[in-house]
A and B are shown apart, each in its own frame.
Chain A
């Protein structure tokens, strides 16, 4: 299970809309627990694949190191990543699978149709090595309390 606040869920989808028709990407920070990955914060990252950003993404390792350092200071860890699929299904592709190496992490994919975020899915990378890794469909729980908080903020 991936646990995500409503504001983070909305923010990662909005990121995909902003970068359309290019892919967006970012990092999910939080804590891994026996019941799943709990996201406490999302961090936007730059897509270095400017040569074909419409169907590829890559996060610079230097940026990832910076994000990881900041996270550690807050007691958080990298628990997953997100990216968008402009006008493509919210399913992992062969490229996503080949390039996935963070076993135990959640890979969130949002389909963005003509600039509008559609379906968002999550896939948990499991396995013990490159040879036996696989993606499993991962349920996402949007924390309802955070929706109410957002609504309260809106009425304030």
Chain B
């Protein structure tokens, strides 16, 4: 399955925009990805192993957080997984 790597994380995939990895579920493909590119793990997961709050994972057009099986969702070779760090901000300090 193809995984789309966002600009800031390409430094850890040898500059590749997309990486193809095997796997039957979202979780398995992510394990394959971080196995092949270990530095990515630090950027995707907290030291406790939880997906960082600002990292969004989309299977095609669906946020995996809202899929019933989440990371256990089965994937097909033709599926696309996108890693999308959040984009937000604002002009005032935290209140």
Q: Which residues of A pack against B, CB within 8 Å?
A: 23, 25, 27, 32, 49, 52, 55-59, 61-62, 64-65, 68, 72, 77-79, 81, 83, 85-86, 88-89, 92-96, 98-105, 107, 125, 129-130
Q: Could you list some 29 contacts between A and B, CB below 8 A?
A: A23-B91, A32-B7, A52-B90, A56-B89, A56-B90, A58-B88, A59-B87, A61-B56, A61-B58, A61-B63, A61-B84, A62-B58, A68-B82, A78-B7, A94-B93, A95-B88, A95-B91, A95-B92, A96-B89, A99-B54, A99-B87, A99-B88, A101-B54, A102-B6, A102-B7, A104-B8, A105-B8, A125-B8, A129-B42
Min C-beta distance of A146 to chain B, whole Å:
24
Main secondary structure of the interface of B (DSSP, over half): mixed
Alpha-carbon distance between A67 and B51 when the two chains are bound, in angstroms: 24
Q: Which residues of B pack against A, CB within 8 Å?
A: 4, 6-8, 11, 17, 42-43, 52, 54, 56, 58, 61, 63, 82, 84-94
In the complex, the answer to whether A57 meets B89 with C-beta atoms within 8 Å is yes
Which residue of chain A has its CB nearest to the CB of B93? Answer: A94
Query: Chain A residues near B42 (CB, 8 Å)?
Result: 129
Min C-beta distance of B15 to chain A, whole Å:
10
In the complex, the answer to whether A95 meets B93 with C-beta atoms within 8 Å is yes
